[in-house]
Structure 1
């Protein structure tokens, strides 16, 4: 008689497949992934073109992971998140690890200090798939304070090996989602510029507003220069002009000023 292993991942995969199209899919899907390699939490989120993201499912051992997700993240902070950048760039489907694509000063920026650090997340990977035109679904899987450990090379290898299956299931489950219009980062820059003028009487140029958002996303002067095709020294000039016009002296103050303006 064949002995059934207590951690039979194939059984959990079968349960997830059987649950496709139902409200119970996300929990079964996470259970399969959790049995395949160690995970502390998940946030399954859909990004759209011209409206706020939608949390499809979440689960965590530590309440702080999702404590501010609706009030802070969904309300506007997502526009500073590297994962949203993946949606904007429409990267190929697959597995992505935050530390591999985050801006060069992500762990030193105010978004990280004010929001991300409070989640207690110490490592994060995500399956990215496109179930419909203009929609990306990210199944984010994290390690947080409950384990205190990053994903091991073996974990990442296993996660990568399962990527084709995971992305296929994501596409099938959420194929009914829809989005309209096109995401326009230039429009976001203009919205921030206009709201600064309307609410605070601060008149920035379009380029100064661009630099402000890139600073808040965690880009260094060198990285901003590469993005905007200008020299790092020119970026520093724009930064000084920006801080002077806003009457601020730190990124924390810039974050507090701009964050309320991001909401659609």
Structure 2
């Protein structure tokens, strides 16, 4: 007797049938949940010339997404490891937050002001490129609701289904596109211009680049590797930066710079 499809396969078939329809997002979520049992799902599109836009939000605890519009889309996304994948045009595939986050990510003010509020414990993302200038992230999270991380086996399952999830996403959202070019240097220049206009502080390009990497959660050693300079030189730039801004801590730097990023 021929084997019948299991629940996950049936759910996948329903998602495929819903392609290009209004119910696709919910059917896609149902299939992914059959495979991985996540606590929350966030489908987000990143553009070149404007802030990202959420396409689908689902969570067992709605507070997980309570800061999405005000904090994340309001400018904090520029500090996010997943947004950096978009900027670098990282290969399509599966990414885990802990594998792409900077070495001091969990100790920086961005994490404490945004990620800690989401209560996220673990996060996986399927990264797709459905159109020119955009990337689409299907983020699957585990939060305080279950209080558990994705297991090795679950990550392996996610890796196996990644080509399917990405293929479906690229078909369904093929109409998305964005013009222009976006580089980290654009964000650094925004800091330079805004710091001068708002606070009368003149930052050099290197000081602004160091500030941005500090805000993202990079240590001096990590910043040095990124910029091709020694950790000691990074510390010199950090001291210059703090002196110019008349601050003495990373928390003060975040409080000063975050409003400038929102501009």
The normalised TM-score by structure 2 is 0.97
Unmatched tracts of structure 2, length 5 or more: none
What SS class does the counterpart of residue 147 from structure 1 fall into? Answer: coil
Deviations 1:73-121 (A, max 9, x none): 0010000000000111111111000111111111111100111111000
Q: Which residue is equivalent to 2:117?
A: 118
Distance 2:210 2:240 in 1: 10
Q: Which runs of structure 1 show a deviation greater than 4 angstroms over 4 or more consecutive aligned residues?
A: 1-5
Q: How far off its partner does 1:2 sit?
A: 7.6
Distance 1:103 1:10 in 2: 37
Q: Which residue is equivalent to 1:100?
A: 99
Q: Which residue is equivalent to 1:58?
A: 57
Q: How far off its partner does 1:64 sit?
A: 2.0
Tell which deviates more after alignment, 21-30 or 76-85.
Answer: 21-30
Distance 1:190 1:165 in 2: 39
Please report the RMSD computed on the Cα atoms of aligned residues, expressed in angstroms.
1.4
State how 1:1-264 maps to structure 2 within 5 Å. Answer: 8-263=7-262
What SS class does the counterpart of residue 129 from structure 2 fall into? Answer: strand
Deviations 1:130-150 (A, max 9, x none): 001111000000000000000
State the aligned residue count.
Answer: 263
Tell which deviates more after alignment, 123-132 or 188-197.
Answer: 188-197
Unmatched tracts of structure 1, length 5 or more: none
Distance 1:43 1:37 in 2: 14
Preserved contact between residue 123 and residue 143 of structure 1 (Cα < 8 Å): yes
What SS class does the counterpart of residue 57 from structure 1 fall into? Answer: strand
Q: How far off its partner does 1:263 sit?
A: 2.4
Preserved contact between residue 75 and residue 263 of structure 1 (Cα < 8 Å): yes
Preserved contact between residue 38 and residue 155 of structure 1 (Cα < 8 Å): no
Preserved contact between residue 9 and residue 32 of structure 1 (Cα < 8 Å): yes
Deviations 1:6-46 (A, max 9, x none): x6111110111111111211111011000012211011000
Distance 1:45 1:221 in 2: 31
Distance 1:187 1:156 in 2: 34
Distance 1:150 1:117 in 2: 15
Distance 1:57 1:99 in 2: 23
Q: How far off its partner does 1:184 sit?
A: 2.1
Q: How far off its partner does 1:3 sit?
A: 8.6
The normalised TM-score by structure 1 is 0.97
Distance 2:20 2:37 in 1: 26
Distance 1:252 1:23 in 2: 43
